[in-house]
Structure formats: structure tokens, C-alpha cells
Amino acid sequence: MEIVSSSGSFLSSFLIFLLLEKHTLASGRSIYFSLAPKGLSSGLSVEQFSVIGPTEPIRAWVGRTADLPCYLSPQKNAQSMKVIWFQSLEIVHHYEDGQDKFDNQSPKFQGRTELVKDAISRGNVTLRIWNITAADKGHYKCHFDDGLYQEEAGIELLVSGIMEIVSSSGSFLSSLLIIHLLETHTLASEQFSVIGPTEPIRAWVGRTADLPCYLSPQKNAQAMKVIWFQSLEIVHHYEDGQDKFDYQSPKFQGRTELVKGAIT
């Protein structure tokens, strides 16, 4: 392209490169996002925005539903924008041209996601994931692109297993024993179940109670995070090969032990 100077003479020709950001998906396919709106002026007025997500991790239970919200600041209509949710290099959900697109969606999320668009005209959307599995835990990105500008925010999803202790009559006890397991050193594809007793554990006032559980299939849990809850209170916390007592409920302090003789 030739540019004419103020004196009327031609400047030397030059090339303009379109900057593209390449995202290679887990499937091997690639998609591209233009970076030009952030770094190069197109002569158009660019309305910049930020993408805001939760400041704390989202907690979800295996088999339940997780809602991951994010919104634009300042508030603006996102109906005509491209909105893509990623987990690592996998597309979790893709919205574009006013429609959900499933061509490049990761197989492990197929049939399990919805983009809640009730407030999309105000720039507010929520990714809903059904039937949560242990493999769903991790870091997610919410990416907005209006064609001239793009931004994204990160959201952390923590996944917990629930073990419900049932009485001999088959009814649920008032307290749920919740076991929270996070593994950081193995592949997300290595799923497991947490198995507890099929009958209630009985204990006497002033005596000791042992509450056992184990992983299926059998695997080493030394490098895992294991947290026992009663309701919303931490009963015992094990992480990095050590017992942690910083956030233990006061009513359990000095009264608990995680028996680790068979943790491997």
C-alpha cells in the first residue's frame, strides 16, 4: 500500500500485518482471535471494557450443577458479541451471532453446558455446567469479543465429593459428611469415587468415633488434599502430606486425627 506525503511524493511501500492470536484446541484444530483492536488503530472508535468474574473460587459438588458468572464493566449489551468459555485449551461453550455453537465444543462437555443469557443485554452471562465430575475442576476463562475489542477473565472451579450417611431405615441423617478431595499432580482424566460406610457410625458420649472412607479405584492419596466437613465447618484438613489446623472449627480443635496408615 502506497502512502502520499504532504509534499505529494510517494512514501516507500510497506506491509501491514494483521496480528492474530492462535488458540490450538485439544482436538488439534485452531481458532484465531485478532489482536489488532488492542494494539493497532483501525480509525474506528473502540469502546474498551473489562470482564469481571468472581474473586473467590466457585465450589461445586460431583453430580450437581455449577454456575460460573461473569459480566462486562462498564455495562453494555453483549448479544452481538462472541463469548467463548475455555478450560485450558478446550472449548467449554461457544456463543456467536446470537446463537450457541457446538462444532468445536470439547467432547467431555457436550450435552452438559448452557450459557444463561437472561441478562446478556446488560453484559452479564453465566456458564452453567450440569452433572459435575471430578475432571471439571480447574481454571476457566470467560472471553468476550465485540469485533473491535476483546477481554477475558479467569474463574477457578473447585469440585468436591459428597458422601451421605444413611440410617438403617434408609432416611438421611441430619448431618452430611462431606469429603473434599483435590488432586494437583495427576491428569484430570483419572477419575475416582469416594466410598464410605453403608451403615451409620455409632459413638458414645466421651468415647472415640472412627469415620472411614476410601478411594475407588484404589490409588495413592498422599499427594491429595483431603478435607472433612460437618455442615460448613472444617473438621480436619490434610494437604501437602501434613495436617493443617489454621481453619479447623474451634469445636474440633485438639480432638481429631486423620489415620493415614493405609493412605497409599
Residue written as cell 476463562? 141
DSSP 217: S
Given pLDDT bands bounded at 50, 70 and 90, which one contains residue 187? very low
Q: What is the tens place of the pLDDT at every residue in 134-183?
A: 889 999 999 999 999 999 999 999 987 654 444 444 443 333 444 444 43
Is the torsion defined by CA of 50, 158, 251, 200 positive or negative?
positive
Strand residues in the chain grouped as ranges (E): 20-24, 30-34, 50-52, 58-61, 66-73, 82-87, 90-96, 99-101, 113-116, 124-129, 138-145, 150-163, 177-183, 193-195, 214-216, 224-230, 233-239, 242-244
Indicate whether 66 pLDDT > 50: yes
What domains are defined for the chain? Answer: 20-159 (2.60.40.10), 164-201+212-252 (2.60.40.10)
The grid cell for 25 is 484446541
* 59 DSSP β-pair partners: 158
Q: Is the pTM of this model over 0.75?
A: no
